Amino acid sequence: MLLKESKPSRNNQKYFGMVSLAVLGIASLALVVTTTMAVEDKKPQKEDVGLQGILPAETPEDLSESPEGLEGKWVEWDKQVSDLLGKLYESDLTLEQQQQTLTALQAKITEAKGQAALADYSSRLQRRVEIADAVLKTLGQDLGAVKAAQLKAQQDKLAAAAKALTKYLGTLDNGNGWVEYLQLNELQKEVKNSYSEVELLDLLKSLKAKFESRGALEDAEQRKFFNRDQFKDLEKSVSAFLADAQGEGKKVDASQVRQELKALVTNLEEYEATQSGKNAFEARKAYAQLRQELEGGLGPLTDALRNNYFNYNLRVMVAEDFINRLINDSTCEKGPVVDCILGAYVTGNQATTTEVGVDFKPSDTTLRFDLTLSGITNSETSGTTNQATIYTSGHHQIWGGKEINFDGDTFTTEPAWVQVDANNTTVGASTKLDRIPLLSSLGRSMAYRRTEELRGEAEAIAAQRVRDRVRPRFDEEVDERIARSNEKVGGELNKRLKDNGLFPSARSYASTDSHLYVRTRLMDTGELAANSPPLSISAKDSVVLQLHESVMNNSLSRMALEGRKISDQDLITEFEKSITDLLDRKVTLQRPPVDPDKGPNILAFDEKDPIRVQITDNTLNIILRCGFEQKGETAVPTQIITVPLHFKVEGDKIHITRGDVKSSPVVRPDRIAAQIARAGVVRNKMEKAFPDRVEDSQVKAKLENRNVFLNITGIDAKDGWLTLTVGNDLTVEKIEAELPPAVEETAAAK
């Protein structure tokens, strides 16, 4: 039986009327409340103060997690830092409270110095504190004064350019005419005294018009003269001053500055988490806009960025002891002696043994060192005159040096110097009186006495002979090697770096009495670089090579893998080719296995950040943004894949262990089960591509006429830096040059 809608009775009508009235009342009340709340919402909101609205609303994830292995007082230290971070990021602090919190955090960082368990964490915290402090200082400036200072700086440049041009024109016969034409004297007065801003601007507009219309001058010689380089500085200064004074001379927009600072901090935080090239680009863009707005007021922020995100990302430190053992070379040359010294005809034989080494010298701008020479010349000679023959044993000590400087492009040398400490010992004598028994001893005594009288002069001559023989050859051989080195570095290595887009944007070379320091930065206009490294070289270390994750990521960006489909085998081939082109030597990398039935994996890389590297907490993470295709399998859409690698050096072996592979989708699928299956496929592929393995810690290299075996004694992965340490163990095998065939063998071959 179907239910029919019954008509309400009166009582029901009364009931429904009461309900309707109640509903209407509630609705009216809700309307009033809503309206009231809407009116209240329209009240002016409290403006953000200082770091409010610029820093993230929550503590960054890499700071919110406690470092592992803390004990004793450091557990309390961690709790105190956590409380301070909560206040800084998640509380509405006043300006004074924000500064106090940053000061307290800096004190905690200082307190943790030297604690290995806190090194990574403290470095990450230091970056946030320095950037936040710099933001506060930027906001705390008188922005109007900053703009005025910019204009004053432009005014000073304008005055200097006008003065320099006036001085130049004063040296020419027709110079005064040009001074009057360009009104340089009036310009200098106006700039110096600033009588009237209007008159100064009118004068500059007139001057700019003359520069722009110089091509219309009828006299060809005047046009040519007006285009000389000496006029260009003034022209640039005039244009720059007018650009700042006209239109752009309005006050700085404080709200816009806050927006740009927020964009900078937001993208730096995203970059910390993902190493994303997009976030690096956006951070650089925000900084460029701030520079345009506040060029004269960005000192603190620029310093903080330079120290934490614009720093050198490749560093090499080499100990003097290591280089000495590397290049040590001993040679021995023997030969006859035929000379005339103090009227005596000298003949005999000599043997000279020399060793080459290095002596590092302090320099702030170059790698400065002396190539040193030390040796001994032993000789057995006889000096014959009409009266006697003197038999002498010589033992001469040799030392010298040749200064060399390297600036990143060229080795330069100074003339060599050589000193000799000659020491002759008379071991015998014979005279014409030897045949007369009674007079022979008298003759020898007279010969000895005369020899002793001439010893000083004879030794000075012997020393000069050795210097004249050794110094030119030392000079020539070193200069020849330096010429070859310059060709390899300037003509080959630097060219390969430039051709591959890997030439550093900044370089620094320095030396001390004990170490050489090379620092370079690979960073393009839309990229970021490094922070200060966590490790300094110690006296016992021979070589320390430090690579920041940014130099790896910026190098990977040059491979242009974005949006490409490529097999894993071809990808390895491209890596091999890139490294071979860079090093100019054949390089072979380990390849993932190929399924005989399904063939190689095809990687479909994402349009952004196809391969990135992230280094933290003793782990090097390889992050891939790609999908997979393989014959006979369902294609896997783009995933974000993280492959953690751990390194440990034990004795003569390096153990490389893969951690748990993580995979997450770029676009979330409709069914969770689908992603679980895809993640399983991805893990299987990555585990095959990155198996645990053990490598030899000894590396072989060829250096001119020797094989060098270097031993890697340490690999550390901390706070963005991969640090390789080459220990004191070093083996050098000299490759003996092949002797030319004997004459009879050559003749027989013909």
Q: What is the pLDDT of residue 284?
A: 96
Angle at 312 between CA 657 and CA 712, to 5 degrees: 35
Contacts of 278 (CB under 8 A, 6+ apart): 608, 609
Q: Are 312 and 520 in contact (CB under 8 A)?
A: yes
Whole-prediction pTM value?
0.78
Express each pLDDT in 296-327 by its tens digit: 678 899 999 999 999 999 999 999 988 888 88
Question: Closest Cα partner for 620 from 725, 522, 718?
Answer: 718
Q: What is the pLDDT of residue 732?
A: 64
Q: How confident is the model at residue 603 (pLDDT cuts 50, 70, 90)?
A: very high
Residue with tokens 């302090």: 362
User: Please, what are the domains in the chain?
Assistant: 146-245 (1.20.120), 319-491 (no CATH), 530-564+600-731 (3.15.10)
Q: What is the pLDDT of residue 198?
A: 76
Ranking 1-5, 238-242, 465-469 by mean pLDDT, the lowest is 1-5
H/E stretch holding 340 reads strand 329-341
* Mean pLDDT score of the chain: 84
Taking 60 as the threshold, does the pLDDT of residue 255 lie above it?
A: yes
Angle at 372 between CA 371 and CA 374, to 5 degrees: 155
Express each pLDDT in 390-448 by its tens digit: 888 888 899 999 999 999 999 999 999 999 998 888 777 777 776 777 666 776 777 67
Q: What is the pLDDT of residue 196?
A: 57
Q: How confident is the model at residue 45 (pLDDT cuts 50, 70, 90)?
A: low
Taking 50 as the threshold, does the pLDDT of residue 746 lie above it?
A: no
H/E stretch holding 621 reads strand 619-629
Q: How confident is the model at residue 147 (pLDDT cuts 50, 70, 90)?
A: low
Name the residue type at position 357.
Answer: G
Express each pLDDT in 630-670 by its tens digit: 888 889 999 999 999 999 999 889 999 999 999 999 888 88
Q: Which two tokens stand for residue 435?
A: 């045949």
Length of the chain, in residues: 750
Q: Once rounded to an integer, what is the mean pLDDT over residues 143-159?
A: 75
Angle at 675 between CA 671 and CA 676, to 5 degrees: 110
Q: Are 527 and 557 in contact (CB under 8 A)?
A: yes
Q: Bridge-partner residues for 591, per DSSP?
A: none
Taking 70 as the threshold, does the pLDDT of residue 735 lie above it?
A: no
Q: How confident is the model at residue 731 (pLDDT cuts 50, 70, 90)?
A: low
Q: What is the pLDDT of residue 416?
A: 93
Ranking 19-28, 133-142, 482-491, 573-582 by mean pLDDT, the lowest is 19-28
Instruction: Give the separation between CA 190 and CA 183, rounded to whole angstroms.
Output: 11
Q: How confident is the model at residue 528 (pLDDT cuts 50, 70, 90)?
A: very high
| Dihedral sign from CA coordinates of 18, 19, 21, 22 | positive
